[in-house]
C-alpha cells in the first residue's frame, strides 16, 4: 500500500503539504491540492483515518444529520461532505428529521449502534435531554451551522452576526428605517446571532428596533408566508424585510406577490442563504450566501482528523458573502 511519502514524491511536494492538501486547508493553493489528490488517487493512497478504521475492523461510514434535506443549503452541505469523505475512502449516509424534533430523537437513537464512524449534525432539538443524547453518540461528532446549548463539539459555521450587521447597515444607507426581520426559533444560536447583527446595525444607525417588526420561530416556507402576511397588514408597514433563511424568503415572496406589491418599489427583500431560484425570479433576490459546499467539506475533514486521533480541534468559521441583485432599493 502506498504511503504519504510516495504521494509527496509523485506530486512534487513535502509530506506536510500532502497532509494539508488532503485536509483541504486554505493555506494550500488549489492547483497544488488538485495535484496531490491526483497523486493520491493514482497510487490508491488511503489516508490515515481510513487506514486506521479498516485495520481495526471499524466502520468507514460517516453520517450527516440535517433538519430538512429539501433545503438547498443542506443539499450542498451534503455534497461537500460526500466529496471530502470519498477522497479519504469513506462513505456517507444522510438522515433528515424534516424539522420534527421527535423524529430527530428517534433517528438519533437508531444511530447509536456503532454503525457510523462519525457524525456531522445540524439539529432542531435544543433541550438538555436531546443534547445529552447527541453527546452519547459513539465516535467523533462535528456540528454544522449551529450548536445546541451546552454541547461541546467542533462547529463549522459562518460569521452570522458580522455579515448580517453589514447587510442591514446597507439598508440604512439606502434610507430605510422600518426594517422587519422574520427570524428563526429563539433557541437556535444562528437565529440569535443573526438577530444580534440586525440589532447592532440599528444601533450603528442610531435607530431603535421596532419589536413588532421582528417575528420569531420561522424555518420554512409556510412560516415565512404567515409572518410576511402579518407584517404587510401593519400600518405603516415595513419598507424592507430580512429573512432568516432561503425557504422563509420564498414564503415571504409569495405573500408580497399576493398583496399585489412590487419589489423593491414597495418593499425591499433580503435573504440569508442563497439558492438557485433567487437569480431567476423577477426581480432577482439579494442574498447572503453561505459557503455550504465548503462547510460540508470542512465537517468531513474535522471528522477524519478526529478519527486519525487528533484532539482539541477548534471551530471553523467560514466567510459568508452578500450577493447584490435587484430586490433592494430606497424606500418611497
Q: What is the pLDDT of residue 282?
A: 96
Contact at 8 Å (CB) between 257 and 285?
no
CA gap 206, 106 in Å, rounded: 47
CA gap 170, 270 in Å, rounded: 11
Q: Model-level pTM? A: 0.82
Contact at 8 Å (CB) between 170 and 141?
no
Task: Write out the residue limits of the CATH 3.40.50.2300 domain(s) in the chain.
Answer: 55-157+292-318, 160-290
Q: What is the pLDDT of residue 264?
A: 98
Say which residues have a Cβ less than 8 Å from residue 46's Cβ, sequence separation at least 6: 1, 54, 88, 89
Q: What is the pLDDT of residue 289?
A: 98
Bond before 282 cis per omega within 30 degrees:
no
Q: Which fold has domain 55-157+292-318?
A: Rossmann fold (3.40.50)
Bond before 283 cis per omega within 30 degrees:
yes
Q: Is 95 helix (H, G, I), strand (E, B) or coil?
A: strand
Q: What is the DSSP letter of 127?
A: S
Q: What does 210-257 look like in DSSP terms, one character per residue?
A: -GGGEE----SHHHHHHHHHHHHTSSSPPSEEEESSHHHHHHHHHHHH
Task: Write out the residue limits of the CATH 1.10.260.40 domain(s) in the chain.
Answer: 1-45
Q: Top-level CATH class of 160-290?
A: alpha beta
**Rounded-to-10 torsion of CA 56, 59, 65, 71:** 130
1-45: CATH number? 1.10.260.40
Say which residues have a Cβ less than 8 Å from residue 45's Cβ, sequence separation at least 6: 1, 2, 3, 4, 6, 7, 39
Contact at 8 Å (CB) between 165 and 200?
yes
Per-residue pLDDT of the chain (332 residues; tens, 9 = 90+): 577 888 899 999 998 898 888 777 788 999 999 999 888 888 877 665 555 554 454 678 999 999 988 899 999 999 999 999 998 889 999 999 888 888 888 888 777 777 889 999 998 777 777 787 788 888 899 999 999 888 889 999 999 999 999 999 999 999 999 999 999 999 899 999 999 999 999 999 999 999 999 999 888 999 999 999 999 999 999 999 999 999 999 999 999 999 999 999 999 999 999 999 999 999 999 999 999 999 999 999 999 999 988 889 999 999 999 999 999 999 98
Buried b (16+ CB within 10 A) or exposed e, 269-278: bbbbbbbeeb
Here the cell at position 14 is 513535502
Residue 268's closest CA among 201, 198, 180, 161?
180
Contact at 8 Å (CB) between 126 and 188?
yes
Q: What is the pLDDT of residue 49?
A: 57
Q: What is the pLDDT of residue 251?
A: 98
Here the cell at position 131 is 443534547
**Of all residues in the chain, what percent are helix, strand and coil, respectively (each to 5)?**
45, 15, 40
Give bridge partners of residue 272 from the DSSP assignment.
288
Residue 110's closest CA among 138, 129, 132?
138
CA gap 33, 270 in Å, rounded: 35
Greatest Cα-to-Cα distance within the chain, rounded to the nearest angstrom: 71
Amino acid at each position: 500500500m502506498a504511503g504519504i511519502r510516495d504521494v509527496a514524491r509523485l506530486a512534487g511536494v513535502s509530506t506536510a503539504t500532502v497532509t494539508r492538501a488532503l485536509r483541504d486547508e486554505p493555506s494550500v493553493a488549489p492547483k497544488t491540492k488538485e495535484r496531490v489528490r491526483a497523486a493520491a488517487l493514482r497510487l490508491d493512497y488511503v489516508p490515515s483515518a481510513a487506514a486506521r478504521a479498516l485495520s481495526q475492523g471499524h466502520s468507514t461510514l460517516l453520517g450527516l444529520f440535517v433538519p430538512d434535506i429539501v433545503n438547498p443549503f443542506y443539499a450542498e452541505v451534503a455534497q461537500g461532505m460526500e466529496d471530502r469523505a470519498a477522497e479519504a475512502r469513506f462513505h456517507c449516509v444522510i438522515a433528515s428529521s424534516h424539522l420534527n424534533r421527535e423524529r430527530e430523537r428517534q433517528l438519533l437513537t437508531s444511530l447509536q449502534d456503532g454503525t457510523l464512524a462519525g457524525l456531522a449534525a445540524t439539529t432542531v432539538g435544543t433541550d438538555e435531554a436531546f443534547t445529552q443524547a447527541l453527546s452519547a453518540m459513539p465516535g467523533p461528532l462535528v456540528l454544522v451551522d449551529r450548536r445546541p446549548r451546552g454541547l461541546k463539539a467542533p462547529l463549522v459555521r459562518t460569521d452570522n452576526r458580522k455579515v448580517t450587521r453589514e447587510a442591514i447597515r446597507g439598508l440604512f444607507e439606502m434610507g430605510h428605517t422600518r426594517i422587519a426581520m422574520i427570524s428563526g426559533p429563539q433557541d437556535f444560536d444562528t437565529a440569535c446571532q443573526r438577530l444580534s447583527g440586525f440589532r447592532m446595525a440599528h444601533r450603528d444607525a442610531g435607530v431603535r428596533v421596532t419589536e413588532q417588526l421582528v417575528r420569531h420561530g420561522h424555518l420554512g416556507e409556510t412560516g415565512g408566508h404567515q409572518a410576511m402576511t402579518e407584517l404587510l397588514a401593519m400600518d405603516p408597514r415595513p419598507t424592507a424585510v430580512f429573512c432568516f433563511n432561503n425557504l422563509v424568503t420564498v414564503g415571504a415572496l409569495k405573500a408580497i406577490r399576493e398583496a399585489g406589491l412590487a419589489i423593491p418599489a414597495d418593499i425591499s427583500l433580503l435573504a440569508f442563504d442563497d439558492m438557485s431560484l433567487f437569480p431567476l425570479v423577477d426581480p432577482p433576490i439579494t442574498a447572503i450566501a453561505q459557503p455550504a459546499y465548503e462547510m460540508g467539506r470542512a465537517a468531513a475533514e474535522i471528522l477524519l482528523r478526529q478519527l486519525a486521533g487528533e484532539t482539541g480541534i477548534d471551530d471553523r468559521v467560514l466567510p459568508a458573502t452578500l450577493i447584490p441583485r435587484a430586490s433592494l432599493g430606497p424606500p418611497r
